[in-house]
Amino acid sequence: MADAALGQEVAEVAIPTRAQVLVRMRLADKAFQYLTHAMALGVLGLLGCIIIALFIGSLPALRTFGFDFLLTQRWNPVTDKFGALAPIYGTIVTSAIAMAIAVPIGLLVAMFLTELCPLWLRRPIAIAVELLAGIPSIIYGIWGLFVFAPFLQAHVQPLLIDVFGEVPILSSLFAGPPYGIGTLTAGLILAIMVLPFITSISRDAFEAVPAVLKESAYGLGCTTWEVFRNVVLPYTRVGVIGGIMLGLGRALGETMAVTFVIGNAHKIAPSILAPGTTISATIANEFTEAVGDLYTSSLIALGLILFAITLVVLALARYMLLRVERRLGA
Amino acid sequence: MRASLYARRRRRNAVAMSLSLLATMIGLGWLVLILGVLLWQGLSGLSLKVFTEMTPPPGSDGGLLNPILGSLIMTGLAVLIGTPVGILAGTYMAEYGRYARTTTVVRFINDILLSAPSIIVGLFIYEVMVAPMGHFSALAGAVALAVIVVPVVIRTTEDMLLLVPNPLREAAAALGMPRAYIIRHVAYRAAKAGIVTGVLLAIARISGETAPLLFTALNNQFWSTNLNAPMASLPAVIFQFALSPYAEWQKLAWTGALIITLAVLTLSIVARAVTASKRPS
């Protein structure tokens, strides 16, 4: 009797606690879920906030100069007249130089890593390439300024001027005194910087090619180059282009490596040896010194333009890589 | 005719293969060259003084104590702010919203933010923090770095949680554990190494970032732990010193560059080791 009563008492005490615990657990569960959900949505909010903040910040400049902002190259803080053409031009030219060099070299390195390299060497080289990708851009900048630019000035640029001096179109491209710093130097540094990105993404793409495809091509008597050119490249085209675009996105937005060696001259020179400027270098160089709302606002407007360009490039890159992933998943 | 076609194909192959070997040698050569110069220039200036003295005025000797401290403070703060946000968002994407449409969109946007130009982040934080507050501050610098940490952590957290086998979650659910419990006590624990790797990679990423700090934390010639005032950081000091005409400053810039590179390389190698040690089990 006494035992049963005791048991009942215990049960009476325990049941409400258990219910409470369950309620508390359910609440905690929901709270945690909403918390994580909010954070995930916060990422979308972050992108939105960046765009809105940049847009609001650049309104004064856009209102004053209108569409002309994109089309003029005057950049005069004294008279408060600003145009974005020179930095936009510089950004595009340096990135073009970088891609023209880094894409073929990157693809060749990736080919070496997947087709030629002895197995035991593959991992070390791949890791080295990825470490190269992790080196902060300011290191490339300081190296470019103190080592690379003087080297180019002393050896490479005089040679270019001599060789192309007589050729009609190229002579204006390689005209002028060898400054060392300038558009070409910035493009070369960018090429070194994006090389690891392009290499590691195309290597991943090349490794995903089914062995059967390659083996059947070899079985038909193809050489390694023919297999690469006619089997591997077509099969991985979308992924490789995605990787290239990702590298392009980096090159367009890269700041520190370029700022050191571009020379910050707001003028479109026909010669790629001449100093120039890019959007990111202009912002980095002038933002803290910018006096007056219009000056600051013009720099933020430059940032908005850069963000818009890179968003499009990166979105395309991700879209292409996503397509590859889907195909591999299916 | 046949023989010549064959010879031509062989020749073309040989050319392509030598080009690829050459390209690899060039690529690796740059790495060696950059690290070599960095070691050469940086080591010659490396001494105890670098870690015990403040940045000098132009033309005299000194160290990098205040920028090192500033970098540590801002990086630490950025990780404190960015990591929880990143882990929670990654948790939603891998656990609650694994098949939700939101997740696909967030992943796409996050991947874009992952490689968005860091100078834009600096401008953004300037607009929303520095301009309203009226002055540059270490806090703004830390928040700018946190904005860069978040996408990295989200990416790795999601990837790592997706690798946790579902039977583990099902077993825990069968024991009556609520969802949040399963995530925190089973999924996180199983994915711990991966998540730590993500945080380490994020630290490596931000410890060399200069562009977002230039107009948020600015720079500071003096020792400062005030989060509400401008603070020195290694990258910003390197930027300032390298572009200066003074030999002592340039030397310090090289030494700072060496310190950052060693820190970043160590972090990436440790991050790799953490994942590698966990992979087989």
Q: How far apart (Å, rounded) are the C-alpha atoms in residues B141 and B73?
A: 10
Residue B1, pLDDT above cutoff 70:
no
Which pair of structure tokens corresponds to residue A231?
Answer: 């089997």
Give me the phi and psi of A76, to 5 degrees please.
-125, 100
* ipTM computed for the complex: 0.90
pLDDT for the residue numbered A6: 52
Q: Is B100 exposed, middle or buried (0-12, 13-18, 19+ CB in 10 A)?
A: middle
Q: How far apart (Å, rounded) are the C-alpha atoms in residues A98 and A192?
A: 8
Mean pLDDT confidence for B251-258: 92
Which pair of structure tokens corresponds to residue A219?
Answer: 């079985």
pLDDT for the residue numbered A2: 47
Residues forming a β-bridge with A76: A81
pLDDT range class, residue B2, cuts 50, 70, 90 = low
Name every residue whose Cβ is closer than 8 Å to that of residue A67 and which is 6 or more positions away in sequence. none
Is there a contact between A39 and B92 if contact means CB atoms under 8 Å apart? yes
pLDDT range class, residue B280, cuts 50, 70, 90 = very low
Which pair of structure tokens corresponds to residue A7?
Answer: 């048991």
Residue B281, pLDDT above cutoff 80:
no
Residue that is written with structure tokens 């080591």 in the block: B43
Of B37, B116, B180, the CB nearest to A253: B116
**Nearest-Cα residue of chain B relative to residue A317:** B112
Q: How far apart (Å, rounded) are the C-alpha atoms in residues B130 and B140?
A: 7
Best mutation target, A52, A139, A226, to test chain B (most B CBs within 10 A): A139
In the structure, how many helices (H) and strands (E) does chain A have?
Answer: 15, 2
The pLDDT averaged over each successive group of 10 residues in chain A (330 residues) is 51 68 88 94 94 94 88 87 91 95 93 89 86 87 91 87 78 80 92 90 90 93 92 90 91 91 86 90 89 90 94 91 75
**Nearest-Cα residue of chain A relative to residue B184:** A32
Q: Name the 3-class secondary structure at B264.
A: helix
Of B13, B96, B115, the CB nearest to A225: B13
Cα separation of the two ends of chain A: 67
Is there a contact between A29 and B117 if contact means CB atoms under 8 Å apart? no
Q: How far apart (Å, rounded) are the C-alpha atoms in residues B139 and B249?
A: 27
The answer to whether B57 and B188 have CB atoms below 8 angstroms apart is no
- Percent of chain B with pLDDT strictly greater than 90: 57
Contact A206/B at CB under 8 A:
no
Give me the phi and psi of A177, to 5 degrees please.
-70, 150
Name every residue whose Cβ is closer than 8 Å to that of residue B17 and which is 6 or more positions away in sequence. A116, A224, A225
Q: How far apart (Å, rounded) are the C-alpha atoms in residues B191 and B156?
A: 10
Q: How far is CA B105 from the centre of its chain?
A: 24
Dihedral over Cα of B205, B206, B210, B211: its sign: positive
Contact B110/A at CB under 8 A:
yes
Best mutation target, A24, A27, A34, A43, to test chain B (most B CBs within 10 A): A43
Cβ pairs bridging A and B (under 8 Å): 255
Contact B250/A at CB under 8 A:
yes
Q: Name the 3-class secondary structure at A177.
A: coil
pLDDT for the residue numbered B44: 87
Q: 22-81 in B: which are within 8 Å (CB) of A?
A: 22-24, 26-28, 30-31, 34, 37-38, 41
Q: What angle do CA A246, A250, A253 make, to 5 degrees?
A: 135
Mean pLDDT confidence for B147-165: 94
Q: 132-191 in A: which are within 8 Å (CB) of B?
A: 132, 134-143, 145-147
Contact B6/A at CB under 8 A:
no
Q: What angle do CA A241, A243, A249 make, to 5 degrees?
A: 105
pLDDT for the residue numbered A1: 44
Of B10, B123, B264, the CB nearest to A54: B123
Is there a contact between A33 and B180 if contact means CB atoms under 8 Å apart? yes
Chain A residues inside the 8 Å CB shell of B108:
315, 318, 322
Name every residue whose Cβ is closer than 8 Å to that of residue B122 and which is 6 or more positions away in sequence. B144, B211, B212, B213, B214, B215, B216
Q: What angle do CA A71, A74, A79 make, to 5 degrees?
A: 130
Q: How far apart (Å, rounded) are the C-alpha atoms in residues B218 and B237?
A: 10
One DSSP character per residue, A175-229 reads -S---SSSHHHHHHHHHHHHHHHHHHHHHHHHHTS-HHHHHHHHHTT--HHHHII
Q: E strand or H helix at B271, and its extent?
A: helix B247-278
Q: How far apart (Å, rounded) are the C-alpha atoms in residues B264 and B34?
A: 15
Contact B170/A at CB under 8 A:
no
Of A25, A195, A284, the CB nearest to B211: A284
Query: Residue B241, Cβ neighbours under 10 Å: how many?
Result: 25
Per-residue pLDDT tens over the stretch B192-221: 999 999 999 999 999 989 899 988 888 888
Residue B159, pLDDT above cutoff 50:
yes
Q: Where are the beta strands (DSSP E) in chain B?
A: none
pTM recorded for the entire structure:
0.90
pLDDT for the residue numbered B247: 87
Q: How far apart (Å, rounded) are the C-alpha atoms in residues B209 and A98?
A: 21
Q: Name the 3-class secondary structure at A81.
A: strand
